């Protein structure tokens, strides 16, 4: 018996955000302050990344070729690849990024909540991923590792984006005030600390705070770009793509690509932040405002570099600002550059939160506490542990690298690798998810894989000069995610395989009183109350569906204790969890009220108290209930016993309106001592046969599972997001051989 609206609601998964009209315009405006500030602040350092300030100014043809390469890189990758193409490949829940692409290829199983509330059925083993994947199973592990590597590098990008963006903006103060050049690093660190402290207020509030500043920043880029273009209108020749090709043919300098790559950093945030907004709002804001502003800004900088090369080369962005060096326009641009780069940092921080949310929910990363910060958009999430870790690592990076040139060397490699990873997964999705013709998938990969490969090759040469840092961070994160996916999968498989049919584990018998009549014959004593029931459990693993065989199995009597126990189920499936079985074996007593509870997160912000619980009663065992705890993505995990008791009482009234009073009163009486029972698996590595390498494989496997995973699982328990008091939780130790 359950509430009909919840049945209808739980049949639908979370979906992408759909808004129209004014709401869509507002969401598009908000995206300016979250998604585009990374790519939008690239004009601060791109041209000096191509032509260093310490070198001579480039020739006119080299400038035109370089600007052409920038403009067409912006057109091919951020505009066409990401904004136009990749946004079609988000998950049905509206999430984007490389991990979302993997989910499209190997969809997670939809939980069967009806079967999950069946305690007397045989458990059917279900895998974490779909049993009918769209791509062959043999490719699942390589694609998972590939996608986790891309995800890990995007997370590493979340460290370098704040470092590069803020440092480049603060560096402009040395143009006007040379005396403060040695204070650039401390000022940058101070701004970063303020930024990370503000993350707890949530994406929505930060977006409304940042969006106006980002909007003005792009207007300033448009204005200064148009003015600078007027100094040399011939810069429009850069719109001819052949000029970019001629630059590399003429100079033969492949290293230019490493600097040009800086113009498209942040384009991965467009896709990764899909869950924070939606495809329509991202397309509107980029195509109508961001892309034109960036093109005009680079054209203007190129024009000034041609006209005033010797002066402008020292700092192309700040030296190309119209007006005097200490004028109003200069300081206006400086202030908004600081604001824009602070916001640019927000873009990748927000994307990093979104990516961590995905990998945690898919059990590819240890459970961390998450705070949902929006009443309407589930993807807007704040993760404190990730926030403070990012802050510490970013500050260390800024302090150690100390200058912008070293930072940009490290910055580009992560971006290029993630872009190539995305192209591979998109090409596979086109064929196996969208079912497009093979020629389209191959054509897409040949075109965009070629450009991604060019940038990746150029950035690879920067590994000895600093790019090894994001590579190291990415490899470490990937190793953690691959390891956790493997070990957690083994534990969940054990949990699902050890569920048991309640009727085969718990037996009950009615005690009937007899007396002998005058003739010596036995007869039943008629009583008003129900016969006394005795409960037993079967301590062996041998089960039988036949009554006569079951009675022959050794049984142990259980006593009923006046308490309520809530047994939590962390995996979906029929039968009672291993936690209950171990509880009975360790304490041979049966709580008077037993609740077997699983959790279902629904795609709405909050659930009304009267719809919080979906309850079923198990007829074969008095006082036994299967409950689904329905929770909205903004609800805290806080099981209120009074609400649960009310749900059980309502079910009893529907089940037997005439004789429910006694049961309801008893439920309320024992609920005062309610206890949560959760499993604590002590995992043990089982022996595997690996031929000649069995000893080494089993030693490594034992170390990973018993030493590393055991400790991490204790540090990051499944109860990390619970508000329930620790005094009300019993952890049942279970030896799990996996």
pLDDT higher at 162 or 708: 708
136 Cβ contact list (under 8 Å, min separation 6): none
pLDDT above 80: residue 46 = yes
- Angle between the 98-105 and 404-432 helix axes, to the nearest 10 degrees? 20
Domain ranges in the chain? 35-106+141-488, 498-513+531-737
Length of the chain: 738
pLDDT above 90: residue 338 = no
User: How far apart, in whole angstroms, are the C-alpha atoms of residue 18 and residue 16?
Assistant: 6
Q: Looking at residue 205, what is its pLDDT?
A: 59
The lowest-confidence range among 9-18, 258-267, 338-347, 375-384 is 9-18
499 Cβ contact list (under 8 Å, min separation 6): 123, 573, 574, 575, 576, 577, 578
Q: Looking at residue 58, what is its pLDDT?
A: 93
pLDDT higher at 178 or 555: 555
pLDDT above 50: residue 343 = yes
pLDDT higher at 10 or 391: 391
Q: Looking at residue 177, what is its pLDDT?
A: 66
Nearest to 677 by CA among 594, 736, 601: 594
Q: Looking at residue 545, what is its pLDDT?
A: 46
Using a pLDDT cut of 70, give the percent of the chain over it: 81
User: How far apart, in whole angstroms, are the C-alpha atoms of residue 708 and residue 86?
Assistant: 37
**Taking the model in full, what pTM does it have?**
0.77
pLDDT above 90: residue 221 = yes
Query: Per-residue pLDDT averaged across 152-168, rounded?
Result: 78
User: How far apart, in whole angstroms, are the C-alpha atoms of residue 347 and residue 394?
Assistant: 15
Q: Looking at residue 165, what is its pLDDT?
A: 74
pLDDT above 90: residue 37 = no
Query: Per-residue pLDDT averaged across 313-342, rounded?
Result: 86
From the candidate CATH numbers 3.30.420.80, 3.30.365.10, 1.20.1740.10, 1.20.1050.10, the one assigned to the domain spanning 35-106+141-488 = 1.20.1740.10
Dihedral sign of CA atoms 233, 235, 237, 241 in order? negative
Lookup: tokens for 28 = 């598009």
Dihedral sign of CA atoms 447, 453, 459, 461 in order? negative
pLDDT above 70: residue 604 = no
Q: Looking at residue 483, what is its pLDDT?
A: 93
* 663-690 pLDDT, tens digit each: 888 889 888 888 899 888 888 999 888 8
* Calculated CA dihedral for residues 39, 45, 46, 48, nearest 10 degrees: 180
DSSP string covering 690-723? -GGGHHHHHHHHHIIIIIIIHHHHHHS-GGGGB-
Lookup: tokens for 657 = 């309106």
Q: Looking at residue 174, what is its pLDDT?
A: 65
Residue 668: exposure state from Cβ atoms within 10 A (0-12, 13-18, ≥19): middle
- Taking CA atoms, 432 is separated from 426, 561, 566, in Å, by 10, 56, 43
User: How far apart, in whole angstroms, are the C-alpha atoms of residue 204 and residue 206?
Assistant: 5
User: How far apart, in whole angstroms, are the C-alpha atoms of residue 85 and residue 734?
Assistant: 48
pLDDT above 70: residue 528 = no
231 Cβ contact list (under 8 Å, min separation 6): 303, 304, 307
Q: How confident is the model at residue 8 (pLDDT cuts 50, 70, 90)?
A: very low
pLDDT higher at 344 or 575: 575
657 Cβ contact list (under 8 Å, min separation 6): none
Q: Looking at residue 564, what is its pLDDT?
A: 93
The lowest-confidence range among 320-329, 454-463, 631-640, 653-662 is 631-640
pLDDT higher at 466 or 581: 581
DSSP code, position 129: B
Q: Looking at residue 602, what is its pLDDT?
A: 72
Yes or no: say if 367 and 718 are a contact pair by the CB < 8 Å rule. yes
Dihedral sign of CA atoms 575, 578, 582, 587 in order? negative
pLDDT above 60: residue 14 = no
Q: Looking at residue 167, what is its pLDDT?
A: 78
Q: How confident is the model at residue 659 (pLDDT cuts 50, 70, 90)?
A: confident
Q: Looking at residue 716, what is its pLDDT?
A: 85
pLDDT higher at 380 or 654: 654
- Taking CA atoms, 42 is separated from 39, 220, 293, 337, in Å, by 5, 14, 12, 11
Q: Looking at residue 293, what is its pLDDT?
A: 96
Phi-psi region of 162 (alpha: psi -120 to 50; beta: other; left: phi over 0): alpha
Enumerate the H helices of 79-202 as residue ranges.
Answer: 98-105, 113-116, 140-170, 173-176, 184-197
Nearest to 496 by CA among 731, 701, 738, 698: 738
Cross-strand bridge partners of residue 568: 597
Calculate the average pLDDT of the chain: 80
Q: Looking at residue 176, what is its pLDDT?
A: 62
Yes or no: say if 508 and 533 are a contact pair by the CB < 8 Å rule. yes
Lookup: tokens for 510 = 């009615």
Highest mean pLDDT among 67-71, 383-387, 628-632: 67-71
Long-range contacts of 553-561 (CB under 8 A, 24+ apart): 555/507, 556/588, 557/588, 558/506, 558/584, 558/588, 558/589, 558/590, 559/535, 559/588, 559/589, 559/590, 560/535, 560/589, 560/590, 560/591, 560/592, 560/623, 561/589, 561/590, 561/591, 561/592
Q: Looking at residue 131, what is its pLDDT?
A: 46
Yes or no: say if 491 and 738 are a contact pair by the CB < 8 Å rule. yes
Yes or no: say if 130 and 107 are a contact pair by the CB < 8 Å rule. yes
pLDDT above 70: residue 729 = yes
Lookup: tokens for 24 = 């869509």
Q: How confident is the model at residue 709 (pLDDT cuts 50, 70, 90)?
A: very high
Yes or no: say if 359 and 98 are a contact pair by the CB < 8 Å rule. no
495 Cβ contact list (under 8 Å, min separation 6): 570, 571, 577, 578, 679, 681, 736
User: How far apart, in whole angstroms, are the C-alpha atoms of residue 515 and residue 582?
Assistant: 40
Q: Looking at residue 595, what is its pLDDT?
A: 93
């Amino acid at each position: 018996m359950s509430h009909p609206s919840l049945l209808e609601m739980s049949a639908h998964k979370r979906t992408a955000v759909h808004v129209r009209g004014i709401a869509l315009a507002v969401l598009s405006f908000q995206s300016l302050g979250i998604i585009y500030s990374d790519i939008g602040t690239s004009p601060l350092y791109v041209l000096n990344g191509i032509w260093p300030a310490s070198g001579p100014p480039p020739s006119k043809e080299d400038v035109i070729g370089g600007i052409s390469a920038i403009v067409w890189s912006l057109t091919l990758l951020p505009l066409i690849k990401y904004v136009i193409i990749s946004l079609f490949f988000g998950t049905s829940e509206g999430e984007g990024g490389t991990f979302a692409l993997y989910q499209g290829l190997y969809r997670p199983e939809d939980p069967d909540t009806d079967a999950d509330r069946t305690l007397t059925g045989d458990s059917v083993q279900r895998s974490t991923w779909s049993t009918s994947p769209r791509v062959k199973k043999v490719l699942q592990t390589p694609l998972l590792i590939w996608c986790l590597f891309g995800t890990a590098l995007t997370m590493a990008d979340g460290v370098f984006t704040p470092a590069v963006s803020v440092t480049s903006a603060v560096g402009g103060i040395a143009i006007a005030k040379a005396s403060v050049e040695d204070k650039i690093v401390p000022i940058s660190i101070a701004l970063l600390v303020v930024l990370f402290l503000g993350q707890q207020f949530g994406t929505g509030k930060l977006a409304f705070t940042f969006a106006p500043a980002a909007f003005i920043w792009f207007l300033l880029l448009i204005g200064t770009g148009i003015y600078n273009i007027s100094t040399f209108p011939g810069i429009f020749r850069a719109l001819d793509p052949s000029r970019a090709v001629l630059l590399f043919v003429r100079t033969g300098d492949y290293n230019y690509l490493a600097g040009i790559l800086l113009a498209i950093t942040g384009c991965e945030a467009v896709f990764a932040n899909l869950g924070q907004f939606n495809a329509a709002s991202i397309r509107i804001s980029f195509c109508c405002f961001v892309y034109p502003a960036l093109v005009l800004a680079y054209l203007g900088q190129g024009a000034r570099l041609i006209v005033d090369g010797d002066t402008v080369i020292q700092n192309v962005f700040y030296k190309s600002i119209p007006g005097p060096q200490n004028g109003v326009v200069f300081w206006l641009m400086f202030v908004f550059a600081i604001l824009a780069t602070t916001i640019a940092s927000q873009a990748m921080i927000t994307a990093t939160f979104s990516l961590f949310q995905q990998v945690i929910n898919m059990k590819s990363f240890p459970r961390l506490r998450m705070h949902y910060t929006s009443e309407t958009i589930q993807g807007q999430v704040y993760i404190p542990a990730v926030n403070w870790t990012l802050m510490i690592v970013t500050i260390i990076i800024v302090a150690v690298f100390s200058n912008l040139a070293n930072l940009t060397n490290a910055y580009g490699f992560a971006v290029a690798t993630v872009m190539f990873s995305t192209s591979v997964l998109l090409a596979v999705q086109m064929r196996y998810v969208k079912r497009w013709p093979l020629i389209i998938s191959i054509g897409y990969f040949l075109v965009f894989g070629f450009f991604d490969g060019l940038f990746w090759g150029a950035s690879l040469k920067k590994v000895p000069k600093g790019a090894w840092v994001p590579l190291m961070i990415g490899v470490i994160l990937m190793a953690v995610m691959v390891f956790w996916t493997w070990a957690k999968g083994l534990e969940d498989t054990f949990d699902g395989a050890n569920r048991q049919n309640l009727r085969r584990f718990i037996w009950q018998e009615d005690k009937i009183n007899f007396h002998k009549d005058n003739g010596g014959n036995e007869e039943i004593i008629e009583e008003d109350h129900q016969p006394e029931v005795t409960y037993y459990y079967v301590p062996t693993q041998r089960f039988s569906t036949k009554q006569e065989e079951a009675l022959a199995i050794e049984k142990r009597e259980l006593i009923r204790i006046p308490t309520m126990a809530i047994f939590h189920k962390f995996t979906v499936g029929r039968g009672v969890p291993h936690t209950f079985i171990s509880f009975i074996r360790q304490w041979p007593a049966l709580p008077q009220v037993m609740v077997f509870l699983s959790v279902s997160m629904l795609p709405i912000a909050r659930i009304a108290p009267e719809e919080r619980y979906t309850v079923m009663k198990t007829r074969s065992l008095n006082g036994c209930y299967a409950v689904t705890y329905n929770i909205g993505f903004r609800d805290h995990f806080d099981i209120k016993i009074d609400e649960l008791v009310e749900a059980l009482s309502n079910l009893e009234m529907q089940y037997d309106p005439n004789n429910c009073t006694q049961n309801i009163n008893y439920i309320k009486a024992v609920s005062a001592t309610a206890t949560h029972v959760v499993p604590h698996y002590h995992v043990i590595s089982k022996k595997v046969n690996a031929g000649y390498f069995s000893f080494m494989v089993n030693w490594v496997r034992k170390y990973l599972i018993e030493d590393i995973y055991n400790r991490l699982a204790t540090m990051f328990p499944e109860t990390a997001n619970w508000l329930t008091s620790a005094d009300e939780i019993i952890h049942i130790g279970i030896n799990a051989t996996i």
